Structure 1
Amino acid sequence: MTSDAAFHPTAALDETVHQRVRLGVLAVLSEVAECAFTVLRDELALTDGNLSRHVRMLEEAGMVAVRKGYEGRRPCTWLRLTSRGSAALRTELAALEAILKRHGRGTA
C-alpha cells in the first residue's frame, strides 16, 4: 500500500480523539459555543476527576480551550472547542463514516 487511499479507514482514527470520553467532550462542545464544566460532566455522566484528566489532554493537544472565572461568587470553569478540535472531530467522524460505508451502513 503506497497511497493514503489504500489504507483502511481505521488508520485515520486519532488516538487522542477516539477515546470514548474525549470523543464525547468534543461532540458535546461542537453543539454549543461554550459549556460549563459541571454541565459537561453531568451530560457525559463522569466524575470531576475523570473529566478533568480528559479535558487536560484535549487542552494540551490544542483541541479545547479552558476559561476559569466566577459565576457570582462561585468559581466556574467553561470549555469551548477550538478550531483544531473542530477539525479533529470532523476528521474522526469522516473516518467513522468510511468504516460504516465499508460495512454497508453508510449515511445517506
Structure 2
Amino acid sequence: MPEAQFNDLIHAPTRLRICGLLRAVNQMDFAVLRDGLGLSDATLSKHLKTLADAGYIRLDKAASADRQDARRLTWVGLTRKGREAFDGHVGALRAIAGAVD
C-alpha cells in the first residue's frame, strides 16, 4: 500500500471521480467513461490531459471491430504511478476522516 499522501491534482472532484472509476478496471473506453461521469467530450478531455501530463493515466487508440469507418476508440487507464497516487490520496482522505484501516 502506498504511503498516504494528499494529492491536489487528483483531489479535484472530476479527476477524483475519473481515477475512482479507472481504479477498478484495467482500462475503459473514453465514451463509457464520459457517459458514466455525465461530462462533455471537451470537459473529459481537459481533465484527462491534466492527468496524462502528470503521468497518472495512459491513453491508447485502437481500431474498433464493430465499425466500418476509420474512427478509432480511445481507451483510458491508470498507470502504475496513477494507481499509487490515487491509493495514497484515498489513504490521506481516510486519515483526515479518522478512518482506521
Secondary structure class of the residue paired with 2:72: strand
In structure 1, runs of 5+ residues without a counterpart are 1-8
Distance, in Å, in 2 between the alignment partners of 1:16 and 1:92 is 10
Specify the structure having the higher radius of gyration (Cα).
Answer: 1
- TM-score, L = length of structure 2: 0.86
Between the aligned residues of both structures, percent identity stands at 33
Does 2:64 match 1:64? no
- TM-score, L = length of structure 1: 0.80
1:42-84 deviation line (CA, Å, top 9, x unaligned): 1111110000000001001000000012213332100111000
Does 2:29 match 1:36? yes
Runs of 4 or more consecutive aligned structure 1 residues displaced over 6 Å after TM superposition = none
- Equivalent AA in structure 1 for residue 78 of structure 2: L
Higher relative contact order (CA 8 A, sep 6+): 2
The aligned length equals 94
Structural RMSD (CA) = 1.5
Does 2:83 match 1:86? yes
Distance, in Å, in 2 between the alignment partners of 1:46 and 1:27 is 15
Distance, in Å, in 2 between the alignment partners of 1:27 and 1:40 is 11
